[in-house]
């Protein structure tokens, strides 16, 4: 059985995709301030954020649960 290679998108194509995104407020309106957000290039469903009140939060399902 032959092994197959997995293609990984280039950083340029990922940056182009990210540039097309538009941020929008989905609430809650008093949920607290976020001071930093980062995504995981190897997993498009994983994000981290740092809250102003403290704590680092992670989602691995695109933001449904943190």
pLDDT digits (tens, 9 = 90+) for 7-54: 777 888 778 888 888 877 776 666 678 889 999 989 999 999 998 888
Helix/strand/coil for 18 = helix
Residue 42 lies in a domain: yes
**Does 35 or 60 have the greater pLDDT score?**
60
Residue 2 pLDDT greater than 70, yes or no: no
**How many structural domains is the chain composed of?**
1
Residue 21 forms part of a structural domain: no
In-domain check, residue 7: no
Tally Cβ neighbours within 10 Å of residue 46.
16
Place of tokens 């998108």: 9
Tell me, yes or no, whether 5 lies in a domain. no
The model carries a pTM of 0.53
Chain Cα centroid distance, residue 25: 15
Is 62 a member of any domain?
Answer: yes
Whether the pLDDT of residue 55 is over 80: the answer is yes
pLDDT of residue 34: 81
Q: How far is CA 17 from CA 3, 7, 28, 44, 50, in A?
A: 29, 17, 27, 11, 23
30, two tokens:
């008093």
């Amino acid at each position: 059985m032959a092994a197959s290679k997995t293609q990984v998108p280039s950083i340029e194509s990922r940056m182009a995709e990210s540039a097309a995104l538009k941020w929008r407020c989905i609430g809650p309106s008093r949920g607290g301030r976020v001071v930093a957000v980062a995504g995981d290039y190897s997993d498009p469903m994983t994000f981290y954020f740092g809250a102003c009140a403290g704590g680092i939060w992670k989602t691995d399902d695109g933001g449904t649960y943190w």
